[in-house]
């Protein structure tokens, strides 16, 4: 079963410096029918104007993943990490017992476009930590590249949850497939482009909750970038 979460149905917040679309309930946007899926709690598509961003704020007991689509995001946190996140980078911050951080557009001339993803951790109260890795477009081109997992295998970031996170960049007409093991569910997020998921068409910003499907077939209708979360049901 595939249930589409259309881009235009998401919650929307625009405060001038930030244009944000919320797949699930977040902040002032509340929809009891969209509180998350499996261990996914937040997928926000954010666009931040040059020189602006999120001032220092705190988190606890959440796995926070940042995936930049265009531009660059500057990150600083209370455990001493400072970094610039660019397209191809995947960042994981485990909030654990508590962490404070800020995120700002690293450019004074170019907007930054990103996906911020929150997942519930398998265990609460862990030590806060940070990890960032780069996955060249060539690794994701025509391929579901594992970029996040519970054990950090194949060079992926380590997420403290039973999840396999894949990223793919597909040219028009390219296809990839993924086998979903029994008892597993999945979420597909279309970052850009247009793709056919089995018999369903999705466009940029759309998400799809997937359950009771054994094989997922993706075919790009246009140049496309997707994230696929394979999770325990």
What is the rounded distance in angstroms from the CA atom of residue 160 to the CA atom of residue 148? 10
94-107 b/e with 16+ CB inside 10 Å = b? bbbeebebebbbbb
What's the residue count for the chain? 233
Q: At the topology level of CATH, where does 2-232 sit?
A: Jelly Rolls (2.60.120)
Cβ atoms 188, 202 nearer than 8 A: yes
Q: Comparing C-alpha atoms, which of 116, 79, 110, 114 is closest to residue 95?
A: 79
What is the rounded distance in angstroms from the CA atom of residue 100 to the CA atom of residue 89? 21
What is the rounded distance in angstroms from the CA atom of residue 111 to the CA atom of residue 50? 5
> Residues 162-211: pLDDT tens digits?
999 999 999 999 999 999 999 999 999 999 999 999 989 999 999 999 99
> Residues 52-106: pLDDT tens digits?
988 888 889 999 999 999 999 998 889 888 899 999 999 999 999 999 988 989 9
Which residues, at least 6 apart from 14, have a Cβ–Cβ distance to it below 8 Å?
20
What is the rounded distance in angstroms from the CA atom of residue 224 to the CA atom of residue 203? 9
Strand-pairing partners, residue 130, are: 93
> Residues 218-230: pLDDT tens digits?
999 999 999 999 9
What are the residue boundaries of the structural domains of the chain, listed by start?
A: 2-232
Maximum distance among all alpha carbons in the chain?
Answer: 48
């Amino acid at each position: 079963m595939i249930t589409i979460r259309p881009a235009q149905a998401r919650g929307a917040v625009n405060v001038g410096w930030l244009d944000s679309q919320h797949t699930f309930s977040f902040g002032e946007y509340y929809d009891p029918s969209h509180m998350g899926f499996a261990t996914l709690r937040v997928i926000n598509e954010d666009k931040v104007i040059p020189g602006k961003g999120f001032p220092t704020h705190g988190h606890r007991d959440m796995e926070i993943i940042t995936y930049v689509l265009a531009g660059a995001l500057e990150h600083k946190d209370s455990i001493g990490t400072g970094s610039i996140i660019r397209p191809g980078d995947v960042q994981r911050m485990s909030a654990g017992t508590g962490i404070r951080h800020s995120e700002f557009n690293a450019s004074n001339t170019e907007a930054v476009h990103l996906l911020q993803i929150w997942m519930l951790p398998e265990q609460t109260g862990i030590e806060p930590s940070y990890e960032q890795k780069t996955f060249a477009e060539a690794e994701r081109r025509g391929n579901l590249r594992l970029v996040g997992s519970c054990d950090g295998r194949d060079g992926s970031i380590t997420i403290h949850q039973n999840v396999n996170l894949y990223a793919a960049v597909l040219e028009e007409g390219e296809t990839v497939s993924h086998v979903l093991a029994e008892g597993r569910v999945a979420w597909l997020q279309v970052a850009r482009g247009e793709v056919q998921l089995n018999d369903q068409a999705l466009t940029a910003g759309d998400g799809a909750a997937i359950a009771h499907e054994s094989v997922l077939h993706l075919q790009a209708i246009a140049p496309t970038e997707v994230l696929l979360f394979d999770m325990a049901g």
